[in-house]
Amino acid sequence: MPLIFEHHIKLDNITDNIIDVNMPTALTVLFDSLTKTDNALSKAQLKQAISKGALWLTRGKHTQRLRRLKRAMQQGDELHFYYNEAVLASEVAAAILISDEVDYSVWYKPFGMLSQGSKWSDHCTISRFVQQHFPSERAVFIVHRLDKAATGLILIAHSKKAAQALSSMFENRTTNDNSLEKNYQIIVHGNHSINEQPQVITAEVDGKSARSTFRCLTYDQNKNQSLIEVKIDSGRKHQIRVHAASVGLPVVGDRLHGIANNNEPLNLQLCAVSLRFICPITQKTQFFQLSEVLRPQL
């Protein structure tokens, strides 16, 4: 069984609030504290876990992830260490930079990569990957999300102003709003070519209105699978997967709304392939799309 535990430390025995070379560091405090428990780890193990985002610091009213191993501790500080051996051992393929627009960048998110991390780590997230990619350590803000199992285009903002403007663009779009257009490709079980083309699906998702337009690109009779282009006019959670299942054509690899089959590939066959929008910062029309090699292959 993988080792899983939490360890919390409240520093109340430091008499000098002034940071100097003699003050204990986060790594020293954590290492010394863990040696007194059944969960003692080597400094090498701690360094690796901390680099992957397993350590948090509470100072005053603020709690944030801590990676600086030599960060000096102060009176009243709290350290929170979350160790999950299996999570820390997780690996994902690298994201691919599609375009750097300075205020924001556009990336291809691979299968298995998360949008944001958990208390246990953030090393398998697009936010951490982008943060490490730029040598200037730009600020990173998530604008919108893709499911862990989905792939495709995702925007990352590099300032609070850009994040607010781009997030608002995604959140406030309407059915008749041409300022933002998101297109996906999915592979589904069944023959979509026999349905009306294009097929507009308006089934509610979680009690909220939703609209998706499906257009069959090709059908493989041997596999009994269809490659479909999807345009969504609303952004409900799991909207495409719910709408595909609602017409009897579940997305391949969808264990939640699709076919419960252990032989199904883990890689959800759903990909955000293009993104067109009027940039709220420059007012210019932007268009980004994936190359064929990064799109679902039937």
Question: What is the per-residue pLDDT across 93-109, written as a single tens digit (0 to 9) for each?
Answer: 999 999 999 999 999 99
d(CA 248, CA 228): 14
Determine what percent of the chain is predicted with pLDDT higher than 90: 72
Distance CA 81, CA 47 (A): 12
Least confident of 19-33, 55-69, 130-144, 253-267: 253-267
Q: What is the rounded CA–CA span in Å between residue 75 and residue 85?
A: 30
- Cα–Cα distance between 250 and 259 in angstroms, integer? 7
Residue 17 has pLDDT above 50, yes or no: no
Q: How far is CA 80 from the centre of its chain?
A: 23
Kindly state the average pLDDT of the residues 143-161: 94
46 pLDDT band, cuts 50/70/90, is very high
The C-alpha atoms of residue 114 and residue 118 are separated, in whole angstroms, by: 10
Residue 174 has pLDDT above 70, yes or no: no
213 alpha-carbon distance from chain centroid: 25
* Domains and their CATH numbers in the chain: 4-88 (3.10.290), 96-172 (3.30.2350.10), 180-275 (3.30.2350.10)
pLDDT of residue 176: 54
Supply the pLDDT for residue 261.
Answer: 63
Q: How far apart are CA 246 and CA 210, in angstroms?
A: 12
Which residue type does 30 have? Answer: L
First to last CA, the chain: 38
Closest listed residue to residue 190, CA positions, set 164, 155, 214, 156: 214
Q: Name the least confident of 40-54, 184-198, 199-213, 277-291.
A: 199-213
B/e letters for 122-138, b = 16+ CB within 10 Å, e = fewer, are bbbbbbbbbeebeeeeb
DSSP state at residue 155: E
More confident residue, 184 or 176: 184
Q: Residue 275: pLDDT above 80? A: yes
Question: What is the mean pLDDT of the segment spanning 15-31?
Answer: 70
* Residues 208-262: tens digit of each pLDDT: 888 999 999 999 999 999 999 999 887 788 899 999 999 999 999 888 777 656 5
Residues pairing with 274 in the sheet: 183, 289
Backbone angles phi, psi at 73, to 5 degrees: -90, 155
What DSSP element (H or E) covers 162? helix 160-171
Rounded mean pLDDT of 127-143?
91
DSSP, res 48: H
Residues 6+ apart with CB under 8 A from 59: 74, 76, 77, 78
